[in-house]
Structure 1
Amino acid sequence: MELKVWVDGVQRIVCGVTEVTTCQEVVIALAQAIGRTGRYTLIEKWRDTERHLAPHENPIVSLNKWGQYASDVQLILRRTGPSLSERPTSDSVARIPERTLYRQSLPPLAKLRPPGDKAMKRREPKRKSLTFTGGAKGLMDIFGKSKESEFKQKVLNNCKTTADELKKLIHLQTEKLQSIEKQLESNEAEIRYWEQKYNASLEEEILKLEQKIKRNEVEIEEEEFWENELQIEQENEKQLMEQLQEMRQRILECENKLKDYVSQIHNMESGLEAEKLQREVQESQVNEEEVKEKIEKVKGEIDIQGQQSLRLENGIKAVERSLGQATKRLQVCLPPKEMNYKEQSKSSTWKGQGTRTGAIDQGAAPGEPAAVHPANGNQGDGAAGRPRGGGGPTCGARERANFSVWVTEAPWLIEATPQ
């Protein structure tokens, strides 16, 4: 199995890692690969939180505990300081304090114990980081005899002090150790108290978190439901917008068509009005022509009638003249008796029958118009020159034979021929 570790900002892959592999073995392999000495520690980083892994911990097991967040966890190899061989050996030089609780207030116990004393080794604190002195060497070379010889040499140099100083130092150390043990016991009791309290509060917090998780799951389901509804509504909105755009385009097309139709209607109306005006003009022209023709006909008839009336007037005047002459002649040719008788019988008249009115009544009184008979000689029922009852006055045969009136001025022939 492969394990990804970040070293100085560069990701390195360690192969052959199993669940049994410890952090110490991983650190040794990486130190051999980079070829640098010093004190190194393996850090487990998730977001802004970091945790130092102990040498005996298994990084694979630690990563598996993260579950779904394991991909967000980074393993970082960090150098914490130089190795023991790189430190100064003089006692006058101040030592760098160790990164443990026991090294902060006490000097190293390796200076006080003999090389073969194993009873004091249990007092030595366990280091969370590893120290390397070589590059690609074995474990015995890294933690080997060279370091032990150096420690022995330092112890021998320190053993030159007097026995009294050593006794005093041992006494002080034992007192200090006893006080530290008491402090450790009290700290352990306090730790147990806080662990119990923390476990109780942790269970409550776990229950709260579980309830919160359930609520969150319900909220997530509701959010998913509403997200789906939102997507459906958005799709519906898109469809409605598309339909709205189509309707707007159709409305624009309809408006354009309506404008075209309106313009066509106006053109047709103007054409119809023009045709109507043209028809009216034509009809008025036809009517004017007809009226003119009628007027001309009436004028012609009036002219004809005027001519006829002139002729009639002329004829009437001629008849009147002829009548005046005839009456004068009658007065001259008739005797006085007959004239008296004529005056007595003014009411008697000559009747003549014919197709034309042109003869003059010879028995008319003086000053009265004589009866007019047709020019063909047809007379009335009685004899010419005689009253209808008979016995009327008559002229002589010579005068009657010679009596005739011819009027040539009038268009009709006026003739009175007594028999």
Structure 2
Amino acid sequence: MELKVWVEGVVRVVSGLSLNTSCQDVVIALAQAIGQTGRYILILKLRGNERHLVADDCPLQHLAQLGQLATEVQFVLRRTGPSLSEGPDTSANERRLPLSRPSEPEPLKRREPQKALTFSLGPSTLPKRNKPKKDWSRSPRSSPELRASPVSFLDPVNSMKTNPSYPKDEVFRDILQQQRRLQDLEIQLQDLERETELWEQKWSSPEVTLAFAEELEELQWRVRQNEVELMQTEDWEKALQAEMEREQGMHRRLDQIHSSINDQSYEITTLQTRSAHLEEDLQVRVQTQSSLTAQQDESLKSLKQELHNRLQLGEELDVRLAESQQEMETAEERVKTGDY
């Protein structure tokens, strides 16, 4: 998952987060990305109100608790001062930047749930990640509320060195830095306590209680509206499912029609091929029959010519036979008459 954080007016996206990713890890990643050391604090803004997250807070868990209001939340990374390791000469005023007071919420133009506005700056009820124990002892004022102060996540470790060769001046300097840091934390803790009192006074007033009652009533009305919309959505889903099934049936029917058209097209192609073959065979037969008829006509013509010639020859033979018979008759008459 990812988280959008405003850093100096620019939105930066921190990705690869989980519900158990702490505010300290997010601040370290952002500070490394911008390449600037110092003390930082991650602020959760909602409708003009601010909450300073502690090191062990998990931003994504806060968003999950806010529900629909999570879309209105803005996370802002604010630099509260230079790193303590930048030197002991850093002025106390630069390290003791006052915490920003939550601005008064503007009059609500529309009633919306504000269940996320009652923040608790004490120990979080969410499961905390186990942190390694620090080398220094806490002061009496370092109660669980101390975790609400800004933490310099990028400071180098300034713990006491066990090496005997470590310079004594450096050890004293580290001790002075730790003392200054504890003083800063105590001052910031006092500011947070005053801020907590202001919040408690503000949200315990009758006007706020009445506003919460009205908003609760509106929330209940919205829940009922959501239930009605959910029922309508279920009806729409059923109608959509029926329409989708009908569309699927039409697609299946269309596929069947396409398949039938393809089969009929194949049959038509086959019939056209057979018709073409039959037409070719018929043309061959017609041509063959024509050639046979021509041959028969030629043969008949020759036979007729031969018959005509033979008839003429027969007529000639008849004429000759008649002449021969006449000559024979003449000869017989001469024989009878004795003319030898």
TM-score by length of 2: 0.48
TM-score by length of 1: 0.40
Q: Which has the higher contact order (CA 8 A, sep 6+)?
A: 2
